[in-house]
Amino acid sequence: MALRSIRGTPPPVLQRHKQNRYPAPVRFPFGIIPATGDAMLRISRDLTIDENDIEISFVRASGPGGQNVNKLSTAAQLRFDTRRVTLPADAEARLNRLAGQRMTKDGVIVIHAQRFRTQERNRADAVDRLLELLRAAMTRPVPRRATKPTLGSKTRRLEGKKRRSDIKAKRGTARFDD
């Protein structure tokens, strides 16, 4: 039988201490952020951003939360200055188009996340949405190849038009030949 103290926990001599030499990495939605040193978020093969470049503040939210909504600042407002990262010209144009009203004239992307009731989940949601936006801007669209319609599709289209034309022609007034 093991020795127990008054509180029900083993005495300090018998307690096992887990001491890791390296702290465990923090799991993040789109990559692993090291627990020590500068935290870098990988967007694509060519682009990584420093987590310190992302400014997150918490403001009062509307929506679910009951009375808490009036007392706590749970909505996350993320601000990211796009001038701090070097993007190719085409990716920068796509980012401007995709961000729309979320980008200010100064090139700062503002994302407001208030989907959840807790600060942590709203913060993760805002960072997640920023990463999605940057990933979408970094992917080049596949150019459309012009193709000609096949002979079969042309004949099917013309047959359908002929059928429709016959139906409409029969709707006219009935003509009696006397």
CA R_g for the chain: 31
| Domain assignment of residue 152, yes or no | no
| Domain assignment of residue 169, yes or no | no
107: left (phi over 0), alpha (psi -120 to 50) or beta: left
Q: Is the pLDDT of residue 2 over 80?
A: no
| Domain assignment of residue 167, yes or no | no
Higher pLDDT, 19 or 84: 84
Q: Write out the residue range of the structural domain in which residue 111 sits.
A: 26-138
Q: Is the pLDDT of residue 42 over 80?
A: no
Q: What is the pLDDT of residues 131-144, one digit of tens each?
A: 898 888 888 889 99
Q: What is the pLDDT of residues 107-119, one digit of tens each?
A: 888 998 888 878 8
| Domain assignment of residue 162, yes or no | no
Q: Is the pLDDT of residue 55 over 70?
A: yes
DSSP character at residue 137: H
Q: Per the structure, how many domains does the chain have?
A: 1
| Domain assignment of residue 60, yes or no | yes
For the chain, the average pLDDT equals 77
CB 74 within 8 A of CB 118: yes
Please tell me the predicted confidence (pLDDT) of residue 163: 96
Q: Is the pLDDT of residue 10 over 60?
A: no
| Domain assignment of residue 2, yes or no | no
Provide the 3-class DSSP secondary structure of residue 45.
coil
Q: What is the pLDDT of residues 81-105, one digit of tens each?
A: 888 888 888 888 888 888 888 888 8
Beta bridge partners of 108: 81
Q: What percent of the chain has pLDDT over 90?
A: 16
CB 152 within 8 A of CB 103: no
| CATH number of the domain where residue 60 is located | 3.30.160.20
